[in-house]
Amino acid sequence: MKKILLYMMLAIIGFIAGCKKDTDPIFDDPDTRLAAELSADQAKLLNAPNGWKAMIYPKGGKGFFYYFKFKADGSVTMLSDFNTTTARVPMDATYRLKALQRPTLIFDTYSYIHLPSDPNGDISGGTNGVALASDFEFAFVRSTADSLVFEGIFNKNAFKMVKLTAAEEQNILSGAISTFISESTPYITNKILYMILDGKQVPVSLSAGTKVFSISGKVSSVFYYGLDVLELGTPIKYGSYTFDKVYWDKTEKYFYALKGTERIKIEISPAPLVLDTDPALHTVLNTRWASLKINIADLPDLSTDFLSKYNAANANMNGYGSRYIEYITVLFGTNNQITLAARCRNPASPTSTYTANYVFNMTLNSTTGVATFVLDPAQALGAGLGNSNANSFKTYLKPLTDYFVANSFKIAYISAGAPSGSTVGAFLGVSNPNTFFYGVLGQ
């Protein structure tokens, strides 16, 4: 009897213990716990009365700013610095939270945040099919009182949102970032820029198209547009300087960086600035680089002296059957020779082109990179030239061929206005520093 009572008591204790286990939160239904977690995450999104500022630096380049205002009904209002329109015109889209491997924020209607991921390169600004390798689905990583940190599901880009103040939200919604982009872009587009660092004039590049800031062609970072500030993806270190932001003075209309409280203005140079590179350009002519293309439509800062010779030659060609110079290419040959190739076109026959080649012998100082030129004896303009177009055009293009002979030039890489992604080389006048020309280097 005693044994039976003992077994009964143990069974009752086991039953009670089992009931206690079933109510332990650790053993709650996973769906219930996940629903609670997603509800808590949405509460965090909604707990920003003035909205969020968000930033992402896609693996494919550039940086992007976003303004978000999430609503409980699954809608979200957004702005972006993708362009001046997206920075000014709010867009309403939808979002949802979903349990993937981690609680995930998904922007599920095509909106501003999808633009850097658009497979059409003309839209995203990236490569067709790949875009800028950005994200629009983000897993929650961690949170603080004023920020949320995510990781992109597909491309693993870091994505951060920070609560805005009422003043910041008002400025953003008023189109301040759009105005910033519009007003600052002309200051840097096709300009030769520099900063005075450690007492030296150091070339810098600031591109609105690629959203890249670089110093001396050696260190660089992508950026996004904030409120009168460019936020760099990674700090740039140059000598004793470290910059993580570039500021915009909207009153005086110039960019500057800070070292402590000292403003270091980004200046505009009237002439090209030589980049400190190793190896120097003059040492890799015809090995690394085969040519230098001069298309004046793409190069806004050619010297007045060079342009006067170019325009004179072009006017001469115009008088010869209405032809015009489309562009000039300097070809780097062997045996210290270069070829000046002038490609001309006749508007009456738009599919026909005429290239006149003039060969020069070059004397190059291997230490300084300074060169002088004389026409190869076989190319003397008074004699018949091997190239029939060169022979036909020699009188008309004489202002350009004379220009090469009349000057000595330092050949160097420079920082100058040119098409995005180009490497630029220049011929800088030595005896006459006010004359120079430059172009895009080709391999």
Contact residues for 418 (Cβ-Cβ < 8 A; gap 6+): 190, 298, 299, 424, 438, 440
Q: Is the pLDDT of residue 411 over 60?
A: yes
Give residue 408's pLDDT band: very low, low, confident or very high (50, 70, 90): very high
Give residue 422's pLDDT band: very low, low, confident or very high (50, 70, 90): confident
Contact residues for 64 (Cβ-Cβ < 8 A; gap 6+): 55, 56, 57, 58, 80, 81, 82, 116, 134, 224
- Taking the CB of residue 254, how many other CB atoms lie within 10 A of it? 17
| Mean pLDDT calculated for residue range 60-83 | 97
**Above pLDDT 70, what percent of the chain?**
90
Give the pTM. Answer: 0.70
pLDDT at 31: 65
Q: Note the pLDDT tens digit of each residue in 10-26.
A: 444 454 445 444 445 55
| Mean pLDDT calculated for residue range 300-320 | 91
Q: Is the pLDDT of residue 163 over 90?
A: yes
pLDDT at 23: 47
Q: Note the pLDDT tens digit of each residue in 235-271.
A: 999 999 999 999 999 999 999 999 999 999 999 987 7
Domains contained in the chain, CATH given: 44-174 (2.40.128), 183-269 (2.40.128), 281-442 (2.40.128)
Which of 163, 128, 156, 130 is CA-nearest to residue 141?
156
CA distance linking residue 409 with residue 278, whole number of Å: 19
| Mean pLDDT calculated for residue range 338-359 | 88
| Mean pLDDT calculated for residue range 276-305 | 90
- Taking the CB of residue 58, how many other CB atoms lie within 10 A of it? 23
